[in-house]
Amino acid sequence: MYMQQAHYKLASEKIREWRWEAGRLKLTRTFVEPDYLKASAAWRPFQLAFLLMNLEAVSDVSSTDRLAVDLIWFPTGGGKTEAYLGLSAFSIFLKRLRNPEHSGTTVLMRYTLRLLTTQQFLRAASLICSCEKPAAHAA
């Protein structure tokens, strides 16, 4: 989640600028790996509570908690995305740890507002890329 937040911040600040040169589109600046030690990221208490509250249901197929549906009802900007992305990351890693050959679908996401769809897609994509990053390079 830390890496996801750092990468999403970089993407939203549009660090890559393009220009036309000799009839081709070229980057004005090359990509520089973010300094993860300087990036700021934090969990809100409800996000941690949501994650911890759902660990059993995600990890134990016989859990009776799997019969319930949890709804996160917060206003826009309240941190819902990080709450379910954190649980998504846990689910992805758990599935890979249990079966390293598994490469199928782990999480489905559905968005209702068009503007949020783009933003949430970018955040989810940042999380998936962060999950795929080798641990030796993660700070």
Q: Over its length of 139 residues, how does the chain's per-residue pLDDT go in tens digits?
A: 777 776 666 666 655 667 788 888 777 766 666 676 776 677 888 889 989 999 999 999 999 998 988 777 777 777 888 888 899 999 999 998 999 888 788 888 877 666 667 778 888 888 888 887 776 544 4
Of 52, 58, 84, the C-alpha closest to 71 is: 84
* Locus of tokens 């897609």: 121
Per-residue CA distances from 45 to 8, 42, 49, 78, 108 (Å) = 21, 10, 6, 11, 25
Alpha-carbon span 67 to 3, nearest angstrom: 32
Question: Per residue in 28-44, is it b (16+ CB within 10 Å) or e — as a string?
Answer: eeeeeeeeeeeeeeeee
What is this structure's pTM?
A: 0.69
Q: Name the residue ranges covered by the structural domains of the chain.
A: 2-30+41-134
- Is 40 in a helix, a strand, or coil? coil
19 forms beta bridges with 26
C-alpha closest to that of 8 among 138, 133, 93, 127: 127
Helix/strand/coil for 109: coil
Q: What is the pLDDT of residue 74?
A: 75
Nearest-CA neighbor of 4 among 89, 108, 118?
Answer: 89
